Structure 1
Amino acid sequence: MTGPILLIVDYNLSRIDEVRHLRDHARRRHGATVILVRADPTEADHAIADEVIDLDPLRDDFAQIGEKLLADRRDRIKAGIVFSDNAVRSGAELLHRLGVPVDSPPLAEGAFSKYRYRLDESRVADLLAAQRIMVPAFTEIASLDQLHAFAHDHPEGFVIKPAAEGNNRGVVVVRPGDDLTAAFAEVLPYLEGGVICEELIPYRREYSFDGLGSLTFLTEKISARGRYPVEIAQVLPARLDPHERATLQRAGQLANWLVGQCDGPFHNEIKLSDDGLHAAIVEPNRRPAGMKIWALARWVYGIDLHHRWVDTAFGTAPHTERLVPGCAAATVMLGVAADRSFAPDDVPPGADPFGDAVRATTEQLGLADTDLTVTEFSWLSPRRRDLHALARDNADFAAQGCVVLRGDRADIRTVVHTLREAWSHALDRAVAPPAPARKAR
């Protein structure tokens, strides 16, 4: 086999369709063979790549072994993509060893370890403070006594979270008066990989600084309030005043510098003060955003960032100065109205609770049928799971759906809240048991 090779290093299983999209473009546009590297590959992995190498990116010797396994094709490997948090450092090191252009491997650890990122922030705290970027106090903990000590120093509240974990898993907000023993019990499963406490960031609004290389956009995040600050929606375009936009762009770029991002993708989560002048980084990421944000960007801005990522890796991406929105869009997380065991098979064939919810939202907000359209819908898992009505992390949702809003009859944020409520009713109706038959008289 001849021709160029695109090396894709790891991905999260929920993003398999994105890997397929990357592969198809690499084949079509660049005539490339695609090699995928990930641990314990499945049949699905072999179906989306020309070759799959079984190698865990969390191994200490990942880059050395990967270089040996690929040595015979080194001259053909022309481009590489790192597509998971677990591989952000080791994957970048592997690409660097293979002579493939990639963002800084040494600084990439800050985009994987929340603890490492806070350490990097603390080293340049004066610089960040001069840019009105808050650096939260933090510490790594391994015992209940250490948790009590941090709580004593931060009586106004704080956050406990795994040092390296995605999808809001294990994140617990501790408020004054909360049971510290119960909070510690919730993070016990993550102790081996490290757990940190962070000062509570006092800003209510949250956004993300997203993009690829020098191409950037801002996404508005809608989160649940209370003990579990789970993302319930992502919205494009973010609704911001010019000074707020400047603050977020400044914070997002500073985070990119700290984690070594230059040409690749990024998704930096940022909180913004009410006056729009101050910000704090929740966490940086050197990968595309989740929750279909790049799909939202395709509908809103008319650009396929996955295609551009492949083209950037091959050094052929065209110049694009800025993105101009043509509509609004949102990814909405869809849960259950009450704690219950749920599987998609509970929904009868032919039932369409999401379509019903969108139609109910359209009617309630006085929209035309063409104003609000469904672009994607998917169940988060085909398996039966016990779901909480009060979601504790993103795995507590049953499904997610994407909608596009055209025109100015409603705000996309109003659509999000109306749609989530309509979904709860529509799902309950779809899975309700049939009424008992009447007895014949």
Structure 2
Amino acid sequence: MTRPILLIVDYNLSRIDEVRDLGDYARERHGATVVLVRSEPTEADRYLADEVIDLDPLRDDFSEIGAKLLDDRRERIKAGIVFSDNAVRSGAELLERLGVPVDCSHLAEGAFSKYRYRLGEARVAELLAAQRVMVPAFAEIASLDQLRDFARAHPEGFVVKPAAEGNNRGVVVVRPGDDLTAAFGEVLPYLEGGVVCEEFIPYRREFSFDGLGSLTFLTEKMSAPGRYPVEIAQVLPAVVTDQERATLERTGRQANWLVGQCDGPFHNEIKLSDDGRYAAVVEPNRRPGGMKIWSLARWVYGVDLHRRWVDAAFGTATETPSLVPGRSAATVLLGVGSDRWFGPDDLPVGADPFTDAVQATGERLGLVDGELTVTEFSWLSRERRHLHAVARDNADFAAQGCVVLHGGSADIRSVVHMLREAWVDALDGVLATPVERS
């Protein structure tokens, strides 16, 4: 019998392990052939999939060309997964053309373009206001003069960011008295793809409404203060009151409605007021959250969302389980203590600063052996790069580590802060040791 096809449309390179897991499970569970569509595929892509098609999802004719290339296998394509922001609209259009179940393509642009999403909010601003969801004032800008106009209209401060860019790249908080020319210079590289000014959301705490279809959970995002509000950690479960949970879930679902999400994955970033009654969407996403959020969910709740996504795509997903946390976990971004050039090869052979930092964190918090464990660690790049001690975006971090906290003798958020401090100490310590080449 001819094997069914799982079509995976695009992914970001940092998610390669997740794509591998999706494909392996589709072969094992559904006997599927995996076809991957992405621009300029690498040799690694040919190991991920049984077939790779070179096609850029940002092409205007992507869905038309893709459908023609896949037309001879149309009857075999039983499931599809769109796994990048760049493909969220065009990938959904392709699956629609092929007759494969997928969330709405027409509204999907709002999950790619921050400007398009704000336009969608503005159309239903009265309804959102009634649900205590703030709709920030916004404007697309293309010049320094337009930036100055927005600044005059919002003297209390605002945010400038690329209209379509992830990983906190290019996001600049402009506060009263800041140099507008310098702020415009920082977003200049993104001008061709569009730059947006947004009224400053006056809420301090940030969360994400995550999940797949009807399965939902809340993740707490920890961000750096100051001019560059980059994320430094994601923690599960989010510690919230019943009222805060209701506000976040209501806001997250409304974001899903605006971008056409129904059955697929989502990661909607939301800021919450101190009293827990008001919220504002930072941005919606029709994909799994980054920073290993779905892995955190597996360790905390015991549910494998990647496998469930494949099953849902094939129409065989089981009844939605109840999510009861059995522990807490965090993904932590790890930087450097001072502006410097750094690469993993700078470390002495056998050095393991992350394990050292986790051990030191456990000791400082008085945790017993085995209460704080390492689940994953990875360098964000093997190249030697210049990193800023005050990270300007996620590219300024050296590494990423995941830890699980068993038991309730400590707060996972305290673990994050202490671990980041212990990491800098551990890294500086091993860097002071002469490097021995193996």
What's the TM-score, normalizing by structure 2?
Answer: 0.99
The answer for the alignment partner of 1:391 in structure 2 is: 391
Query: Is the partner of 2:201 in helix, strand or coil?
Result: coil
Per-residue displacement from partner, 1:388-421 (whole Å, max 9, x unpaired)? 1100111110000000001111100000000000
Trace 1:185-264 onto structure 2 (pairs within 5 A).
185-264=185-264
Trace 1:145-156 onto structure 2 (pairs within 5 A).
145-156=145-156
Query: Is the partner of 1:331 in helix, strand or coil?
Result: strand
Give the Å deviation of 1:2.
2.6
CA distance in 2, matches of 1:310, 1:128: 33
CA distance in 1, matches of 2:55, 2:273: 43
Give the Å deviation of 1:347.
1.3
The answer for the alignment partner of 2:423 in structure 1 is: 423
The answer for the alignment partner of 2:59 in structure 1 is: 59
CA distance in 2, matches of 1:297, 1:434: 40
Trace 1:35-434 onto structure 2 (pairs within 5 A).
35-434=35-434
Residue 35 of structure 1 aligns with an amino acid whose one-letter code is: V
CA distance in 1, matches of 2:267, 2:347: 34
Residue 30 of structure 1 aligns with an amino acid whose one-letter code is: H
Query: Is the partner of 2:165 in helix, strand or coil?
Result: coil
- Count of aligned pairs: 435
CA distance in 2, matches of 1:349, 1:54: 40
CA distance in 1, matches of 2:349, 2:7: 40
The answer for the alignment partner of 2:22 in structure 1 is: 22
Say if 2:140 and 2:197, in contact at 8 Å, map to a contact too: yes
CA distance in 1, matches of 2:66, 2:73: 12
Say if 2:348 and 2:434, in contact at 8 Å, map to a contact too: no
Say if 2:207 and 2:271, in contact at 8 Å, map to a contact too: yes
What's the TM-score, normalizing by structure 1?
Answer: 0.98
Residue 337 of structure 1 aligns with an amino acid whose one-letter code is: G
Q: Superposition RMSD on alpha carbons, in Å?
A: 0.9
CA distance in 2, matches of 1:246, 1:195: 32
Say if 2:348 and 2:433, in contact at 8 Å, map to a contact too: no
CA distance in 2, matches of 1:434, 1:140: 51
Residue 27 of structure 1 aligns with an amino acid whose one-letter code is: R
CA distance in 2, matches of 1:433, 1:237: 38
CA distance in 2, matches of 1:137, 1:147: 13
CA distance in 2, matches of 1:283, 1:328: 25
Say if 2:206 and 2:270, in contact at 8 Å, map to a contact too: yes
Per-residue displacement from partner, 1:83-142 (whole Å, max 9, x unpaired)? 000000000000000000000000000000000000000000000000000000000000
Query: Is the partner of 1:407 in helix, strand or coil?
Result: coil
Give the Å deviation of 1:433.
4.6
Query: Is the partner of 1:375 in helix, strand or coil?
Result: strand
Query: Is the partner of 1:106 in helix, strand or coil?
Result: coil
Say if 2:162 and 2:194, in contact at 8 Å, map to a contact too: yes
Give the Å deviation of 1:19.
0.3
CA distance in 1, matches of 2:345, 2:22: 31
CA distance in 1, matches of 2:191, 2:41: 27
Flag structure 1 segments of 5+ consecutive residues without an equivalent.
436-441
CA distance in 2, matches of 1:195, 1:239: 34
CA distance in 2, matches of 1:428, 1:291: 24
CA distance in 1, matches of 2:163, 2:380: 25
Give the Å deviation of 1:431.
1.5
Flag structure 2 segments of 5+ consecutive residues without an equivalent.
none
Query: Is the partner of 2:156 in helix, strand or coil?
Result: coil
The answer for the alignment partner of 1:439 in structure 2 is: none
Query: Is the partner of 2:107 in helix, strand or coil?
Result: helix
Residue 11 of structure 2 aligns with an amino acid whose one-letter code is: Y
Shift >4 Å, 4+ stretches: none
